[in-house]
Amino acid sequence: MAKIDTSFLDIGYLDTLAYQASPIQRLDPRVKLLTTLVFIVLVVSFDKYAITGLIPFIIYPVVMVALGNLPAGFILKKMLWAAPFAVFIGIFNPLLDRHILIYLGPVGISGGWISFASIMLRFFLTVSAAFILIACTGFNTVCMALEKMGVPKSLATQLLFLYRYIFVLGEEATRLTRARSLRSFNGKGKGIKVFGHMIGQLLLRTLDRAQRLHTAMLCRGFDGEIRLVRTFRLGVGDLAFFLSWTGLFILLRWYNLPQLLGNLVTELIR
């Protein structure tokens, strides 16, 4: 239960980070969204044994965390919570693919472990990019940017509504769970029957709430359409941000920087 409470605080915390005043937070949200997408697509476009090629992409989360004044430890911790799926599917690679791909002195490393490491690296990069997008833009702003970029309005308003009420209903669910736990001994009453009634109750309350909301919205002149008041203007800084990052990503996608560096250094030493 304590876990639920804290995970909710976490959502709110990630969002509040976006209200800081930093050069990154001030950028146009569309630019940040596009940059994130380009980053993710290029990261996953590497072939499955890629490791060295992926490493330089770490520069993006590092720079964004530094410039956006984001708490790196918190973001890393959140990523660990999300890791199980990628680990669960990825861990089959070392079991199934046992061909030795590289030798580190006497130790041979199989292709499976290399591709597993590659999966974890991809996971780290893509997930951190998504968290960074929210932490330096804010969810509401992302929704408005989506709407500006042509996502259907009904989906954009739906996202805004959903996000607003997650906290309200989340607290309600937490109270329900707490009440049940306090009344349950030896796990009695935690079966599907009570659960069905609890969810049903929560659903009824939710439907009533929707009714009240609708009435309240009608009182304020709602006519079936929600108007989002926020004007975005693309400045020179925004364009520079987008172009320099995408340029760098494309460069890093084409040239394997660590391999080049490593070759150069080992050659020099020899």
Binders of other proteins in range 141-200 (CB under 8 A) = 142, 151-155, 157-166, 168-170, 172-174, 176-177, 187, 190-200
Strand partners of residue 202: none
Binding mask 19-48 for other proteins (x = CB under 8 A): -xxxx-x----------xx--xx-xxx-xx
Q: Which stretch binds other proteins (CB under 8 A): 107-115, 230-238, 243-251?
A: 107-115
| 268 lies in the site for other proteins, by CB under 8 A | no
Cα–Cα distance, 33 to 137 (Å, whole number): 9
Tokens describing residue 270? 């020899």
| 66 lies in the site for other proteins, by CB under 8 A | yes
Shortest spacing between CB 222 and other proteins, in angstroms: 7
Binders of other proteins in range 226-255 (CB under 8 A) = 226, 255
Cα–Cα distance, 264 to 198 (Å, whole number): 65
Shortest spacing between CB 270 and other proteins, in angstroms: 9
| Residue 119 contacts residue 86 (beta carbons within 8 Å) | yes
Strand partners of residue 103: 108
Query: What residues contact 188, with CB distance under 8 A and at least 6 apart?
Result: none
Query: What residues contact 145, with CB distance under 8 A and at least 6 apart?
Result: 28, 29, 30, 33, 137, 232
Choice from 210, 234, 243, 250 touching other proteins (CB under 8 A)? 210
Q: Which stretch binds other proteins (CB under 8 A): 83-91, 233-241, 242-250?
A: 83-91
Shortest spacing between CB 66 and other proteins, in angstroms: 4
